[in-house]
Amino acid sequence: MSKKSKKKQTPLMRQYFDIKEKHPGTILLFRVGDFYETFSDDAELISKELGITLTKRNNGGDQTPLAGFPYHSLDTYLPKLVKRGYRVAICEQTEDPDSAKKAGRKVVQREVTEITTPGVTMSEKLLDHKRNNFIASIHWAGGTAGIAFSDISTGEFALSQVSKGELDSMLQSIQPSEVLLQKKYKNKLPDEVARYNITYIEDWVYQGDYGYNLLTDHFSTHSLKGFGVEELEIAHQAAGSLLHYMQETQKSSLGHLRRLYAYENTDYMALDSSTKRNLELTTAMQEGGTDGTLVSILDDTVTAMGGRLLRKWIMRPLKKVKQIQKRLEAVDWLYKEHDRRHELREDLGQIGDLERLISRISVGRTNARDLKQLQLSLAQIPRVKTQIAQSDNELLDSVNDRLKLMVDVQERIERALVEDPPASIRDGGIFADGFDEDLDELRDIARNGKDYIAKIKNDLAKETGISSLKIGYNKVFGYYIEVTNTHKDKVPEHFIRKQTLVNSERYITPELKEVEEKVLSSEEKSKTLEGELFEELRLYVAEFADDIQQIAAALAQLDCLQCFAEVSFRNNYVRPEVNDKDVVDVKKGRHPVVEKTLPAGEPFIPNDIYLDNSEYQILMITGPNMAGKSIILRQTGLLVLMAQLGCFVPAKEATIGLVDKIFTRVGASDNLAAGESTFLVEMNEAANILNNATPKSLILLDEVGRGTSTFDGLSIAWALSEYLHNKPEVAAKTLFATHYHELNELESRYERIKNFNIKVKEHDGKVIFMRKLVRGGTDHSYGIQVANMAGLPQVVIERAKEILSNLESHSLDVSHDGNGAIKKTAAKKQAAKKTTQEVQNQEQIPQMTLFDTHVDPRIETVMDKLEASDPERMTPIEALILLSELKKIVK
C-alpha cells in the first residue's frame, strides 16, 4: 500500500494494515474493545466462511468492508476457520485505553500474540484428544528428503532422512495437518505432498547453518550429537525451518520441546500407502471415518495419551522378535490378571492428558484448572504403580520405574489452589486462603471493607476522646474524618483539615489515606497479585516438563498394553507365537473387524492359512465374487500385523514368522487428477510390490489384471506369479485371489504354487456361499448367479446365460434384424468331434496351450495371425474366414 493512500486512512486502520502486512497469508483478527474485527478482504472471507454480516467502516473517506464477532466467541469461530485450512493471527490490545489517552496516543498499542494454523495449535477445540496433530517440514537434496515433524500440543519433535520413494509412506504414517515447503516449490509442487495442506515459507530459512544454529540455541547444546541426529544434515534444514515456524506462530517459549529424536523405520514393518489404505488400519476406505477400521476394534484405551500411541503402534508394527515378545508377555500378564486389569483401567481413567497439560503449562496458554488436573492426575500414580508392582515382566517393570511420584509438585499445587478454581485467571479466586500473607490481607480488606473502616473509627474515637467522631466518604476527598465544632479543640495535630462546614470540620490523615488505598484497590490488587503468584507457580511446574513428559509416555505405553489385554480377553483372541522362521500358520483365523460387524446371530466362519517359503509360497485362491476371497486376504494381513504389534489375535492358534513388509493390491481405484486410470494405478502398485518385496514379505493380491482386456490381464497375472516364484530375491509369501481360472495351471508347473478355492454350493440355480477356504482350484465364477442375487432384471439374467452358453461353445453370431431386435445363432457342436488328445495323436501336432513357449513353426504362424487380429472388432463373417485360414495352416 502506498504512503499516499496510508495518509488518507484513519489511525486505527493504518495500524491494522501495518500489522496485516507483517503477517501475510493469515486472517488477522484485530481486537477492538469487546470485538475481534476483520477488514477488507479478510472481512469478505470470514463473512462468507462463518456466515457473519458484512458491513462497512469509514476509512478516511472510503468505506472499508468490516466483519467481526464478540471476543468471547473466539472459541466458536476460530476452530471453524482453522479446520478449513486457514492460518489465523490473533491481534490483542496490549495496553489499557486510559493509558493510551494519558500518553497522548490516538490508538491503543496492539500486537499479534499467536498465530493458529492447522498444524500448530494448543486449542482443545481444534485437537482430537486421541490423535496427534503433526506439522511437517520437508527439504530435498538430490534424491534424499529431510523431514522433520512435531506435535506442539504434546512436545514431540522428530526428524528423519528418507529416499524420495519412501517419503509418501512416511507422510502417510504421521498424517500431518500441515506441511512446510520452501517458496521455490510454489509453482512446481512435488507429487508426494500435493494432497496435504501446504504452507510456503521463505527460502532463506532452509539455507546455510541457520536451521542447525536455531536448534542448538533452543536446546542449549553445542551440537546435536547428544540426540543422535548429528549426521542427518539434510534433515537439520527441515527441523530448523520447522522450529522457526513454530516460534514465529506461537510468540512464546517452546520450553516443552525438550528432545529431538531420529525417526527410524528400520525397527518397524514397512507399510506403503496402498497397504495402509486397503487394510483400513485407521481410516475407512468408503466413508473416511474410523468405523470398520482396525483401530475401531483395538482402541479400548482409557487415556488420551494411550489413544494417540495406539495409532502410532498400528501404523508402525514391530520388526524385531525380542521387542514383540516383550509386549506379548506384558499383555499376557495383564490378560490373566483380570481384577488388577480392571482396577488399573479405573485408575488410568482418572488421569488427564499429561502430555498436552504440561505443553500448555510450559508455553503459558493455561489456567488454574489445568494445574489442578495435573495435580489430581499425578496423585493417581501410586495406585497405578501398585497394580503392576507384582509383575515379573521386564516391560511392565520398565514402565513402573519411569512412573515418578512427583510429590513436591503435587503438594505445591494442592497447597496453592482452591479445590475447584475458576477457568479464568482474571477473575481471581484461584488461590487457597493461607497460601500467601499479602493476598490474605488484601482479601480480608476487600471482603470486610466496612468493618475495617468501622474499626478505624472506633480506634480514633478512643485515641482522641471524641465519641461523636465519624468517618465518611465522597468522590472528591475519598474517606475523611468529620468532627463537630464542639470537639475541635480535641483534634490532634496530625489531622489535616480538608473542608469546613457550618457545624463541623473534615480532616484526613496519612494513615486513613493508606487504609483508603487498601480498601478501594484491594480487589484489583488481589487479582493482580494472584496473576503474579499463578505465573510463579506455572514456571515452577514447567521446570518439571521433562519428567512429566516421561511419565506421560510410560502411562501411554501401559494403557496400550492393558488395552490389548482387555480387547483380547473380550473378543476371545489368543497369544500368537512370533519367531524368525518363514512360516505363517493360522488355525481357525477370523477377521477382527468383519466378525464384529456381522448381523446379530450370523456366525463368522473361521479359516486356516498356511504359508511358507519352501512349499506353500503362493496360494492361488479362486472362487466367485462375494464368496470371501478379499476377506481372507485382508484377514491374513491384519492377523500378521496384530501379532507384530504385540497384540493377541482372533484365531484358535497362530504361529507368525516375522514379516518385514506387507504389500496389498486390492480393489479398484484411480487418480484421475494426476491422469492415472484405474489400471495404471493397479500396475503402479504391482510394480511397487515387485520392486520392493523380499522373501520375508507378505503380499496380498486381489484380482490383478482385471482393469484391462482379458488376455492382457491374464498374461500379466501369469507373468507376475512366475516372477514371484522364480526370483529368489522377491519370493515372498503370497495370497493371490483371482477370477482367472487359467492360473490354476500354475500349480502343475511350479512347486511352490498351490491352488485353493472358496467353497460354494449350487442349489436350484442359486449359489450358497460356504465361506470356507479349501484345497484345489475351481473353474466356475458363478458371476450370473451373483448378478441375480444383486437384483438384475430377470430378462438380463436369462440373456446372460444364453450368451455364456454360446461363448463356452466357441460360436456366437449376434446381429440385428430390420426392427432392431437382437437375434442369435449358436452353431451346433459336431457330434463326432475329436478330442484335442485324439488330434494330437493322429496328426502328431504338439498340443498348443496359451502359455507354451516352444511351439511348432505352423503354430507360430497361427499365433502371428491371431496377434494381428482384433476379436473385439471383427464381424462374425470375418471371424469365420480367419478360423478357416487357421485350420488350413494347422493341417
422 inside domain: no
Examine the domain organization and report whether 21 and 63 are in the same domain: yes
The reply to whether 642 sits in an annotated binding site is no
What pLDDT score does 866 carry?
A: 78
Examine the domain organization and report whether 475 and 564 are in the same domain: no
What pLDDT score does 455 carry?
A: 86
Examine the domain organization and report whether 15 and 40 are in the same domain: yes
- Could you state, in chain order, the average pLDDT of each consecutive group of 10 residues for the chain (891 residues)? 58 92 93 93 94 82 86 91 93 84 85 93 89 96 94 95 87 92 90 90 94 95 94 95 94 89 87 89 81 95 97 95 97 96 97 96 93 97 95 94 96 96 88 94 83 87 92 86 93 91 92 83 88 96 96 98 98 98 97 91 92 97 80 96 98 97 76 57 86 96 78 87 95 93 91 91 67 81 70 78 66 37 33 37 42 58 76 69 76 68
Examine the domain organization and report whether 214 and 317 are in the same domain: no
108 inside domain: yes
Examine the domain organization and report whether 111 and 30 are in the same domain: yes
The reply to whether 628 sits in an annotated binding site is yes
The reply to whether 627 sits in an annotated binding site is yes
Distance CA 877, CA 198 (A): 60
Does residue 504 sit in helix, strand or coil?
strand
Q: Which three cell numbers stand for residue 113?
A: 500474540
Examine the domain organization and report whether 141 and 196 are in the same domain: yes
Torsion, Cα 883 884 885 887, to 10 degrees, reads 90
Examine the domain organization and report whether 167 and 179 are in the same domain: yes
189 inside domain: yes
Residue where a domain terminates, one of 249, 265, 281: 265
Residue where a domain terminates, one of 265, 285, 315: 265
Examine the domain organization and report whether 677 and 779 are in the same domain: yes
In this structure, what CATH number is given to the domain that contains residue 601?
3.40.50.300
106 inside domain: yes
Examine the domain organization and report whether 606 and 477 are in the same domain: no
121 inside domain: no
In this structure, what CATH number is given to the domain that contains residue 335?
1.10.1420.10
The reply to whether 629 sits in an annotated binding site is yes
The reply to whether 187 sits in an annotated binding site is no
273 inside domain: no
What pLDDT score does 60 carry?
A: 63
Judge whether 159 and 229 are in contact, CB under 8 Å: yes
In this structure, what CATH number is given to the domain that contains residue 258?
3.30.420.110
The reply to whether 626 sits in an annotated binding site is yes
The total number of structural domains that make up the chain: 7
Examine the domain organization and report whether 749 and 643 are in the same domain: yes
Angle between helices 381-388 and 338-348 (to 10 degrees): 160
Q: What is the CA radius of gyration of the chain?
A: 39
Examine the domain organization and report whether 640 and 582 are in the same domain: yes
Three-class DSSP labels, 305-361:
HHHHHHHHHHHCCECCHHHHHHHHHHHHHHHHCHHHHHHHHHHHCCCCCHHHHHHHH
Residue where a domain terminates, one of 223, 241, 265: 265
Residue from 257, 248, 256 nearest 113 by CA: 248
89 inside domain: yes
Distance CA 528, CA 526 (A): 5
Range of the domain at 668: 577-792
The reply to whether 24 sits in an annotated binding site is no
| List of residues 6+ apart from 718 with CB closer than 8 A | 740, 742, 743, 746, 851
Examine the domain organization and report whether 745 and 636 are in the same domain: yes
Distance CA 564, CA 645 (A): 9
420 inside domain: no
The reply to whether 827 sits in an annotated binding site is no
